[in-house]
Amino acid sequence: MKYALVTGGSRGIGKAICKKMALMGYHVLINYKSNQKEALITQQDIISEGGSAELIPFDVSVQEQVENALNTWMNNNKDAYIEVLINNAGIRKDTLFIWMENNHWFDVLDTNLNSFLYVTRILLKPMLLKKYGRIVNVVSLSGIKGLPGQVNYSAAKAGLIAATKALAQEVGKKKITVNAVAPGFIRTDMTSDMKEDELMQMIPLNRFGNPEEVAEVVGFLASEKASYITGEVISVNGGLYT
């Protein structure tokens, strides 16, 4: 049995990634924060397609919760190791910088960036021992280009991009790759408050993307086929920005 952990796997892009990883033959650990109903639907979808998955709820922004959940899982599965980690959980709290309060900043940094430290540090050790691993971080166009109203989110995702590139150089010798996927506008709960009709006019492919279109790229980077790609950021944004 091969194991993959997808943070924020209950909904949206994470859900599509969970389903992709299951199709690739992985037993999927579906992480989520609070929406157990949607997480169970993701698990059921996987099982009905012949795959296997379990739920592993924890808040990625709370170090203690991350450590408790992952250490418990590793103690209960001593012969197993998680060879694929998809750091996908994320939130946005948009506001103009002039109105930005500490909680807007820290909540977004904690969930999108500090989570990378808490989760990855634990799972990296077994990957180093086994001399194989795949880490894919879901970042954003916002972290490449910077977007107004998202100074906090742009900073978090840009930080995650730099962390991706730096860690890739540390662990490459152990056959562990670390890459990032940068979606543009993807149709999920996160973008449900956005004016798609107006925004799509800026996008060369003239539409928002689907979670499955991001999951395909994540799946490739998480596969053995992507063995000579590391420290890379691949955009999935309909041509919005290059």
Binding residues among 97-126 for ligand NAP as defined by CB under 6 A: 111
- Nearest approach, Cβ of 171 to ligand NAP (angstroms)? 22
59 counts as binding ligand NAP under rule CB under 6 A: yes
Q: Which of 3, 26, 118, 153 is catalytic?
A: 153
Is 46 or 138 the residue whose CB approaches ligand NAP more closely? 138
How crowded is the C-beta side of 240, counted as CA atoms within 13 Å?
26
Residues 6+ positions from 101 with CB-CB distance below 8 Å: 95
60 counts as binding ligand NAP under rule CB under 6 A: yes
Residues 6+ positions from 74 with CB-CB distance below 8 Å: 80, 81, 122, 126
51 counts as binding ligand NAP under rule CB under 6 A: no
Binding residues among 176-235 for ligand NAP as defined by CB under 6 A: 183, 185-186, 188-191
Residue type (1 letter), 185: F
Residue 32's nearest CA partner among 22, 42, 23, 24 is: 42
Contact yes or no for 182/220 (Cβ under 8 A):
no
34 counts as binding ligand NAP under rule CB under 6 A: yes
Count of CB atoms situated within 10 Å of the CB of 192? 9
- Nearest approach, Cβ of 144 to ligand NAP (angstroms)? 10
State which of residues 21, 22, 27, 38 lies at the interface with ligand NAP (CB under 6 A): 38
Task: Say whether 153 is catalytic.
Answer: yes
137 counts as binding ligand NAP under rule CB under 6 A: no
CA distances from 63 to 30, 209, 224 (A): 18, 32, 30
140 counts as binding ligand NAP under rule CB under 6 A: yes
User: How many angstroms separate the CA atoms of 54 and 34, rounded?
Assistant: 15
State which of residues 11, 20, 27, 104 lies at the interface with ligand NAP (CB under 6 A): 11
Is 60 or 124 the residue whose CB approaches ligand NAP more closely? 60
Q: Is 133 helix (H, G, I), strand (E, B) or coil?
A: strand
Binding-site ranges for ligand NAP (CB under 6 A): 7-14, 31-35, 38, 59-61, 88-91, 111, 138, 140, 183, 185-186, 188-191
- Which positions are annotated as active-site residues? 153
